[in-house]
Structure 1
Amino acid sequence: MKRGYWLLAGLLCASAIPLILGGRQMFEQVARFPLGTLLLMFGMIVLCWLINAQKLRVLLAGRAGRIGQAQSVGIIMASEFAFYATPGGTGGPLTLMALLARRGMRPAQSSAIFAVDQLSDLLFFLCALIGVLCYALSHTLSPDLEGSLALGALFLGGLLVGVVLLGRFQRQVIRLNGRLLDRLQVSPLKRLRWSRKLLHFRDSLAISLRQPKRTLLLVFLLTTCHWTLRFSVLYLTLHALGEELQWAWTFLIQLLSLVAGLATLLPGGAGSTELTSAALLAPLVGKPTAAAAILIWRVVTYYFYLIAGGPVFALVAGRPLLKKIIGT
């Protein structure tokens, strides 16, 4: 029950932030928002699910048996619902591994699939941030966005360096993990079990990364299509509200908000995402417009995932797994 209350509290706090920030003017802008644009953005999210489902099938490469389009979309929607409904998104990979385990995949294999997917995301964000940096060199940038750009570049660069070092010194990491477990007085049998799991994960990850370059390029292209669509929602929202903010700046705002949301470990970054985006967006377009844009943006890219993904999760994953990851 505690996790369920945690999610509910996060949703209430998140929805209250735009209301407090924008006041009556925000409601007026939301009421005038074009219905066609809103439906278009919901359609973009559905397309994102289809793209991610195709990417999952490419990454699996038949190792989980024959998975149809509907089945892969169900797995993606259920996993993303679990991601946004649990602190720090921990339920996402757990749901993915549980669903793939039902199709005969070992946890090490499914976790390796998830790791390759995350590496593809990281590579996209780094490339996109470099593109934004090049764009910023020829355009005037507000002091707030300058600091955000530097922070984003530092974070993603440090994360990429960490991943490279982890891959380079993997044996030392495994040994260090064993020593740490020994100091924590973990039994030799459990230490051996954990070591085997790490080795299986390493081998499965290496196999996934040794796929043909054409396959890995396709994975990256699908990742690029997904995040480009997803990160265009805020731009379209502002455009429909009458604000002509460049796509590069809306991308940067969403990236920093995403990082802030993950750092707080709240379900879906509820509250922290709204606060971060409000702090960056309000100086550029004004508080009422920023509040209206944030509310609509979060309805499309957060609440819609919960509302549409919840029934799919219940159908695909089942109530026992829901109780396990959310505790309701």
Structure 2
Amino acid sequence: MSKFKKWMKASLLISGISILLLLIVTVNSETIETVLKIKYEYIVLAVIMHIVAYFMWALRTKSMCQGIDYKIKFLSCVKIVTAGKFAASITPSSIGGEPLRIELLHQNELPIGRASAIVLGERFMDAFLILFSAPVALYILRDGFSDSSLDIVFIMGEFILMSVLLIMLYGLLRPENLKRIIRFIAIKLTKLLGKKREDQIYHVLKKIDSEFYNFHASLRMLLREGRTSLACGMLFTVFYWLFLFSILPVILMGLNLNPPVIITFAAQILLLIITAVPITPGASGVAELGATTLFSVFVVPSLIGITVITWRVLTYYMNLLVGGFVSIKIAKDTELINRLFG
């Protein structure tokens, strides 16, 4: 729990300092004049679009669960998604979201192995879409910035996403090798934690074998019998990102700007590549700095600060607010967070 609190504090502190610096550097009389003329109906629309994005992800989860013959309520999926977004928002490279979603799916009667297959499948879809959209985004923004240091960040982000895809593919093509690796890691961790008795190690390995079977059986079922659910899952993935990416141009419309929608999408795709580099909890600081650099291609300097701050509030702080509220409502949430982050 102490680690959870540290991540939370660090995330909010870094993000808060970044926002304060943005305000100091960018706010002027033109900024104030624009804020006074803001069209709040567009901000409300942006909030609604983020909520719809939650629903798209929840529908994806529900669809993929149906693909492995597990029925789960839509409302339960919404809770799982929003709680997962909360955990992802306070951990480096969003790594906290997956374990929490797996555990919450398990609480909804999915075996750990099958829940892992669902979450891994969702991660694969996201990574696949972003990875193959990135070259197009780079092409669109090729003349927008000239900072060579950004190339290094993009390469690192692409490498991380590509590694995720390759690990997933390796698990599909060579399941036995992956199981041996997991068993090896489990044995080392068990001994490291002081659990040296043979019966304890045997229990851990038996559990791994059982859950790995569930995991791979679920993937096979999705790829063979659940292809319709898988296709629906990919469709909901596209809709999820479309709604999420549309928040920025809607914000710009609220600031009385005429945003180039395709370019705003391209900038956000590249920003996802940057924030994939696990530097700070919830990509705090990194997201603000990256957004300031990328959004400056289509936003004037006097409005870049207020644009980034509004976008960050609606896409990051909203995850903390909604996800935190939902997490509190989830049964045994404190115990769950203790297990995952303590």
Q: TM-score range by the shorter chain?
A: 0.7 to 0.9
Partners of 2:83 and 2:323 within 8 A in 1: yes
Q: Which whole-Å CA distance do the structure 2 matches of 1:243 and 1:217 have between them?
A: 37
Inter-CA distance 155–71: structure 2 relative to 1 (3 Å threshold): closer
CA-CA distance at 1:165 after TM superposition: 4.1
Inter-CA distance 115–176: structure 2 relative to 1 (3 Å threshold): closer
Q: Could you report, residue by residue, the CA deviation over 1:155-185 in whole angstroms, capped at 9, with x for unpaired residues?
A: 6455544543443344334344555666778
TM-score for the superposition, normalised by structure 1: 0.83
- Residue 146 of structure 2 corresponds to residue 143 of structure 1: yes
- Residue 321 of structure 2 corresponds to residue 307 of structure 1: yes
- Residue 102 of structure 2 corresponds to residue 77 of structure 1: no
- Secondary structure (helix, strand or coil) at the match of 2:323 reads helix
Structure 1 residue aligned with 2:334, among 297, 319, 325?
319
The match for 1:43 is 48
The match for 1:219 is 233
Q: What residue identity is the alignment partner of 1:116? A: G
The match for 2:303 is 289
Partners of 2:43 and 2:250 within 8 A in 1: no
Q: Which whole-Å CA distance do the structure 2 matches of 1:264 and 1:47 have between them?
A: 27
Q: Which whole-Å CA distance do the structure 1 matches of 2:97 and 2:107 have between them?
A: 16
Q: Which whole-Å CA distance do the structure 2 matches of 1:77 and 1:176 have between them?
A: 32
Partners of 1:52 and 1:222 within 8 A in 2: yes
Q: Which whole-Å CA distance do the structure 2 matches of 1:268 and 1:313 have between them?
A: 17
- Residue 99 of structure 2 corresponds to residue 94 of structure 1: yes
CA-CA distance at 1:59 after TM superposition: 0.8
Q: Which whole-Å CA distance do the structure 2 matches of 1:184 and 1:222 have between them?
A: 37
CA-CA distance at 1:29 after TM superposition: 4.2
Q: Could you report, residue by residue, the CA deviation over 1:48-82 in whole angstroms, capped at 9, with x for unpaired residues?
A: 12222221111111868643333322222222222
Gaps of 5+ in 2: none
- Residue 17 of structure 2 corresponds to residue 13 of structure 1: no
Inter-CA distance 214–104: structure 2 relative to 1 (3 Å threshold): closer
* Structure 1 stretch displaced more, 92-101 or 161-170: 161-170
Structure 2 residue aligned with 1:61, among 57, 66, 74?
66
Q: Could you report, residue by residue, the CA deviation over 1:285-305 in whole angstroms, capped at 9, with x for unpaired residues?
A: 344322111100111111111
Gaps of 5+ in 1: none
Partners of 1:109 and 1:204 within 8 A in 2: yes
Inter-CA distance 275–142: structure 2 relative to 1 (3 Å threshold): closer
Q: Which whole-Å CA distance do the structure 1 matches of 2:190 and 2:83 have between them?
A: 37
CA-CA distance at 1:320 after TM superposition: 2.3
Inter-CA distance 33–323: structure 2 relative to 1 (3 Å threshold): farther
TM-score for the superposition, normalised by structure 2: 0.80
Structure 2 residue aligned with 1:228, among 242, 251, 262?
242
Inter-CA distance 235–209: structure 2 relative to 1 (3 Å threshold): same
Q: Could you report, residue by residue, the CA deviation over 1:76-116 in whole angstroms, capped at 9, with x for unpaired residues?
A: 22222222234443332222222222232111010101011
The match for 1:121 is 126
Q: Which whole-Å CA distance do the structure 2 matches of 1:260 and 1:135 have between them?
A: 17
Inter-CA distance 323–257: structure 2 relative to 1 (3 Å threshold): same
Correspondence 1:237-248 to 2 at 5 A? 237-248=251-262
CA-CA distance at 1:275 after TM superposition: 1.5
Q: Which whole-Å CA distance do the structure 2 matches of 1:306 and 1:40 have between them?
A: 19
Inter-CA distance 101–156: structure 2 relative to 1 (3 Å threshold): closer
Partners of 2:38 and 2:256 within 8 A in 1: no
Inter-CA distance 274–134: structure 2 relative to 1 (3 Å threshold): closer
- Residue 125 of structure 2 corresponds to residue 111 of structure 1: no
Partners of 2:153 and 2:274 within 8 A in 1: no
Inter-CA distance 7–28: structure 2 relative to 1 (3 Å threshold): farther
Inter-CA distance 75–180: structure 2 relative to 1 (3 Å threshold): closer
* Structure 1 stretch displaced more, 179-188 or 80-89: 179-188
- Secondary structure (helix, strand or coil) at the match of 2:82 reads helix
Structure 2 residue aligned with 1:205, among 215, 219, 228?
219
Q: Which whole-Å CA distance do the structure 2 matches of 1:30 and 1:211 have between them?
A: 53
Percent identity, aligned pairs only?
A: 23
Q: Which whole-Å CA distance do the structure 2 matches of 1:101 and 1:178 have between them?
A: 21
